[in-house]
Amino acid sequence: MPADRLVRALEHATALDRPADAVAGAVGSWLGPGRVKDLLSGTWFGHAVHPALVAVPIGAWITASWLDAFGGPDSRPAARTAVGFGTLAAVPAVLTGGSDWAEVDGAERRVGFVHALANSAAVGLYAGSWQARRRGRHAVGVGLALAGAGLAGAGGWLGGHLTYAAGVGVDTTAFLSGPSEWTEVAAESDLGEDEPTAVQVGEVPLVLVRRGGVVHAVNDRCTHRGAPLHEGPVVGDCLECPWHGSRFGLAGGEVRRGPATRPQPVFEVAVDGGRVLVRRTDEQRALRLNPVASGGA
């Protein structure tokens, strides 16, 4: 498909790296780990908030286009209000999207950069549409809104590609399961106090941490962007991601600090005769058990 060829070209467009890296660096320096970052990331929500927020301006702008096409002259004030509301509602969508985008690299950063440019230009066109309508230049306002809709549609397609094709924002452990039976993974003597140790159980990477005489086991791949958690420090009763600073409780895997939104999968641990054994006790989802075929196949 032409759209696929275009996005492949964007993924390999290294000329975008310099401006994209500069903007991402500026965003990263402004938004370090903390409450503001957690708010924008959706740590408090359990999922990224950017996809939900973009529905608000899109809905308002579609409403305006519908009124422009079918509402007649009496609907013009309502269409202007819808355009203005959508433009204001785009501000938090832009902020949350920028926060999420600053944490990706390579091809994903390049596509995300163009996604952001297209959507930002769309916001500018809709702002111009509102101004033109307010000054009585209805035809100009309609034209600017149509151009904005085209750019917003293109930007939305790229956003969908980032999520559904590139997996940005998806829990990186979604397709990792683990043994339901007790499985030996290490010797207890190999574990130092508060020293993360990477082990492998089948295809699932785990990190073991002994703290206060208790051994904890969590998935070693950060749910946020896939960082190896065993390379991060133990901070209190949390394990900190070495890439973006997310913190997860050792006992329950819950997110204590973002930008991660999804908890780390945890494993039950037993120590028998100096050997560390683990098992996964929660119910396994169909795609984890068989990520290739459908559940009914």
Asked whether residue 177 is domain-assigned, the answer is no
Q: Are residues 46 and 147 in the same domain?
A: yes
Q: Are residues 24 and 117 in the same domain?
A: yes
Q: Are residues 9 and 144 in the same domain?
A: yes
pLDDT tens for each residue of 81-133: 999 999 999 999 999 999 999 999 999 999 999 999 999 999 999 999 999 99
Q: Are residues 38 and 151 in the same domain?
A: yes
Q: Are residues 46 and 146 in the same domain?
A: yes
Residue type, 92: P
How far is CA 293 from its chain centroid?
Answer: 26
> Is the Cβ–Cβ distance between 209 and 215 less than 8 Å?
yes
Q: Quick one: pLDDT band at residue 177, thresholds 50, 70, 90?
A: confident
Asked whether residue 241 is domain-assigned, the answer is yes
Asked whether residue 15 is domain-assigned, the answer is yes
Q: Give the three-state DSSP class for 216.
A: strand
Asked whether residue 296 is domain-assigned, the answer is no
Which residues make beta-bridge pairs with 247? 240, 257
Crossing angle of the two packed helices 138-160 and 106-134, in degrees rounded to 10: 160
Determine the pLDDT at residue 287: 60
Crossing angle of the two packed helices 106-134 and 50-70, in degrees rounded to 10: 40
Q: Which of 270, 286, 289 is nearest to 278 (CA)?
A: 270
Mean pLDDT of 167-193: 90
What tokens appear for 117 in the block?
């440019």
Determine the pLDDT at residue 290: 58
Asked whether residue 95 is domain-assigned, the answer is yes
- In 10 A of CB 252, how many CB atoms? 13
Instruction: Average the pLDDT over each of 31-40, 68-77, 152-161 and give the range with the smallest value.
Output: 31-40
Mean pLDDT of 223-237: 95
Asked whether residue 178 is domain-assigned, the answer is no
Q: Are residues 21 and 146 in the same domain?
A: yes
Q: Are residues 24 and 148 in the same domain?
A: yes
Mean pLDDT of 154-168: 94
Domain boundary among 165, 192, 222: 165
Determine the pLDDT at residue 2: 83
Domain boundary among 100, 130, 165: 165
Q: Which domain holds residue 239?
A: 183-289
Task: Give me the percent of the chain exceeding a pLDDT of 70.
Answer: 95
pLDDT tens for each residue of 27-57: 988 888 889 999 999 999 999 999 999 999 9
Q: Are residues 118 and 6 in the same domain?
A: yes
Asked whether residue 204 is domain-assigned, the answer is yes
Task: Give me the percent of the chain exceeding a pLDDT of 90.
Answer: 85
Determine the pLDDT at residue 174: 87
Asked whether residue 294 is domain-assigned, the answer is no
b/e code 143-170 from CB counts within 10 Å (16+ = b): ebbebbbebbebbbebbebbeeebebbe
> Is the N-terminal amide bond of 259 cis, ω within 30° of 0?
yes
Number of domains in the chain: 2
Q: What CATH number did the domain enclosing 204 receive?
A: 2.102.10.10
Domain boundary among 110, 131, 165: 165
Q: Are residues 157 and 203 in the same domain?
A: no
pLDDT tens for each residue of 246-294: 999 999 999 999 999 999 999 999 999 999 999 987 766 666 655 554 4
pTM for this entry = 0.86
Q: Are residues 153 and 223 in the same domain?
A: no
What tokens appear for 196 in the block?
């993360």
Distance of alpha carbon 123 from alpha carbon 111, whole angstroms:
18
Q: Are residues 211 and 128 in the same domain?
A: no
Q: Are residues 84 and 21 in the same domain?
A: yes
Compute the mean pLDDT over every residue in the chain, rounded to the nearest whole number: 92
Determine the pLDDT at residue 110: 97
